[in-house]
Amino acid sequence: MILNDTIVALATPSGIGAIGLIRVSGTATFEIIEKMLHKSIKGKKSHSIVLRELYDTEGVIDEVLISVFRGTRSYTGEDTIEISIHGSDYIATRLIKSLLHHGARMAEPGEFTQRAFLNGKLDLAQAEAVADVIASEHQFAHEQAMKQLRGGYSKDIQSLRGKLLNFTSLIELELDFGEEDVEFASRDELRNLVLEIKNRVDRLSDSFTLGNALKKGFTVVLAGRPNAGKSTMFNALLNEDRAIVSDIEGTTRDSIEELIQVSGIRMRVVDTAGIRDATDVIEKEGINRTFKHVEASGITLYLFDPSHTTPREVSSDLGILKNKTDRVWTIANKMDLFTGNLNDFGVVDAQVSAKDANNVVALFDKIVQELTSEISNLSNEIVVTNARHAESFRLCSNELQSILDGIENSLTGDLLSFHLRSGIKALASITGEIDNEEVLGNIFSKFCIGK
């Protein structure tokens, strides 16, 4: 990666728009733009905006606004200008062509952010958060990306690394004393420290399953016997007649899913074929699909009609479902018709009447509450949503476990130090204190051009 050339890219989508934005960054930024101006912008302070006409050999290209960012005060950490043009592909192409002619080159995807990282404006986890902020389509994803952009667990990681490094140097000092039987690093203290750090790292690592599910949309599967009212609840949630509802058992044969938002959390709700011993091949296939969805669900809501289902049937259904997924809630539906006692049915998590949408929203709020409290229990509301980070936390945790086992078995100092260093390296890779070109290239290539 060459840092001393000047890069250019269109930062807005191509096509017609009120405004288009072209970014230029690098040491020759101001030298290049001066060649296209009749009236210089020399002496314009950082963070000022000037109105100018830009020219190529053919004549005027456009009347533009130029935002000036000097030196380290820019996003990339180097001289940058942002040119706001009239949003036309013709103008953008002609302007970029002229910038290239005067010595700039086209930026690679993510290269502006990569420069920000290489110039120390952002750490790697923050740089990745920039891509997540741009990609975020709902409140949860946006919140997590913003937290990470503002530093997220970067500060935590730094402090954990610092503590581990301290111990590593003490242990390595022991090694210098060779034969002499000295112990600068108290093994008890090391054990406590490693336990504390492992606890934190494990919680972050565990939060990925939930964090990733929430980022992509938390899957809620509606399951139960035919006629339990699954499609009715599905329609109530969407507020439209999306799925066919009828009193004929086996109405829904294929699964249908839709996205909804509940208190800032995106949910993928799946209506499924009712579970029974079907003889029809199509219905059988539908029920197979139901089970596949249950297996992949974040939560499965088991709906039953207490007027037409026995406690024994409910408990048998629950046995099957809980075998396939961890989180199953039991929902008594058609409570408008039921006059008996629910006690015999074991734990019932909610009572609803899907037909009049009674208690349905409250039920989904309850799911959100549970997820929110789980997040805060896991790691102070910061969850890991990035697979690369999750893998590094897992690697670090393994090394920490090896240290704990090692202390137990009086492992020699050099081996303890090896595991300490590997653990530190795993943590460091999250914030980018690594010098692996390939990893870096891979991360930034996923960005869009102009960011």
Q: Where along the sequence are the contacts to ligand GTP (CB under 6 A)?
A: 224, 226-232, 245-247, 249-252, 273-274, 333-334, 336-337, 353-355
Closer residue to ligand GTP, CB minimum distance, 133 or 260: 260
247 interface partner picked from Mg ion, ligand GTP, none, CB below 5 to 8 A per type: ligand GTP
Least distance to Mg ion from the beta carbon of 224, Å?
Answer: 9
431 CA to centre of own chain: 16
Closer residue to ligand GTP, CB minimum distance, 19 or 337: 337
Can you tell me the distance from the alpha carbon of 205 to that of 259, in angstroms, rounded to the nearest whole number? Answer: 27
255 interface partner picked from ligand GTP, Mg ion, none, CB below 5 to 8 A per type: none
113 interface partner picked from ligand GTP, Mg ion, none, CB below 5 to 8 A per type: none
Can you tell me the distance from the alpha carbon of 81 to that of 88, in angstroms, rounded to the nearest whole number? Answer: 19
Q: Which two tokens stand for residue 281?
A: 């091949």
Least distance to Mg ion from the beta carbon of 235, Å?
Answer: 10
Can you tell me the distance from the alpha carbon of 418 to that of 209, in angstroms, rounded to the nearest whole number? Answer: 29
Burial 269-288 (b: 16+ CB within 10 A, else e): bbbbbbbeebeeeebeebbe
Who contacts 223 (Cβ-Cβ below 8 Å, separation ≥6)? 230, 272, 275, 290, 293, 294, 300, 301, 302, 303, 321
226 interface partner picked from ligand GTP, Mg ion, none, CB below 5 to 8 A per type: ligand GTP
Closer residue to ligand GTP, CB minimum distance, 159 or 246: 246
Q: Which two tokens stand for residue 394?
A: 């897992």
3-class SS at 5?
Answer: coil
Closer residue to ligand GTP, CB minimum distance, 318 or 426: 318
Residue 266: which of 133, 138, 134, 368 has the closest Cα? 138
Sheet containing 17-25, strands listed edge to edge, beginning at the edge strand earlier in sequence: 48-56, 59-69, 80-87, 17-25, 7-10, 105-106
Can you tell me the distance from the alpha carbon of 109 to that of 32, in angstroms, rounded to the nearest whole number? Answer: 22
Least distance to ligand GTP from the beta carbon of 353, Å?
Answer: 4
9 CA to centre of own chain: 26
Can you tell me the distance from the alpha carbon of 133 to that of 145, in angstroms, rounded to the nearest whole number? Answer: 5
24 CA to centre of own chain: 29
Closer residue to Mg ion, CB minimum distance, 144 or 252: 252
Closer residue to ligand GTP, CB minimum distance, 171 or 228: 228
46 interface partner picked from Mg ion, ligand GTP, none, CB below 5 to 8 A per type: none
Binding mask 95-134 for Mg ion (x = CB under 5 A): ----------------------------------------
Residue nearest ligand GTP, CB atom distance = 274
Closer residue to ligand GTP, CB minimum distance, 197 or 270: 270
Can you tell me the distance from the alpha carbon of 422 to that of 416, in angstroms, rounded to the nearest whole number? Answer: 10
77 interface partner picked from Mg ion, ligand GTP, none, CB below 5 to 8 A per type: none
154 interface partner picked from ligand GTP, Mg ion, none, CB below 5 to 8 A per type: none
Write out the binding residues for Mg ion, residues 202-261 only, by CB under 5 A: 230-231, 251-252
158 interface partner picked from ligand GTP, Mg ion, none, CB below 5 to 8 A per type: none
Closer residue to ligand GTP, CB minimum distance, 93 or 246: 246
3-class SS at 329?
Answer: strand
Q: Which two tokens stand for residue 182?
A: 């000295």
Closer residue to ligand GTP, CB minimum distance, 338 or 418: 338
Closer residue to ligand GTP, CB minimum distance, 98 or 231: 231
Q: Which two tokens stand for residue 184?
A: 């600068």
Helices then strands (H, E): number in the chain? 14, 12
Least distance to ligand GTP from the beta carbon of 192, Å?
Answer: 54
DSSP structure string for 44-55: PPTTEEEEEEEE
Least distance to ligand GTP from the beta carbon of 290, Å?
Answer: 9
Least distance to ligand GTP from the beta carbon of 121, Å?
Answer: 54
Exposure of 326 in the CB half-sphere (CA atoms within 13 A): 4
Least distance to ligand GTP from the beta carbon of 311, Å?
Answer: 19
* E-assigned strand segments in 200-273: 218-224, 256-262, 265-271
Q: Quick one: which H or E segment has residue 60?
A: strand 59-69
336 interface partner picked from ligand GTP, Mg ion, none, CB below 5 to 8 A per type: ligand GTP
210 interface partner picked from Mg ion, ligand GTP, none, CB below 5 to 8 A per type: none
Least distance to ligand GTP from the beta carbon of 349, Å?
Answer: 16
Least distance to ligand GTP from the beta carbon of 356, Å?
Answer: 7
Based on C-alpha coordinates, what's the Rg of the chain?
Answer: 29
Least distance to Mg ion from the beta carbon of 315, Å?
Answer: 23
* Interface residues toward Mg ion, by CB under 5 A: 230-231, 251-252
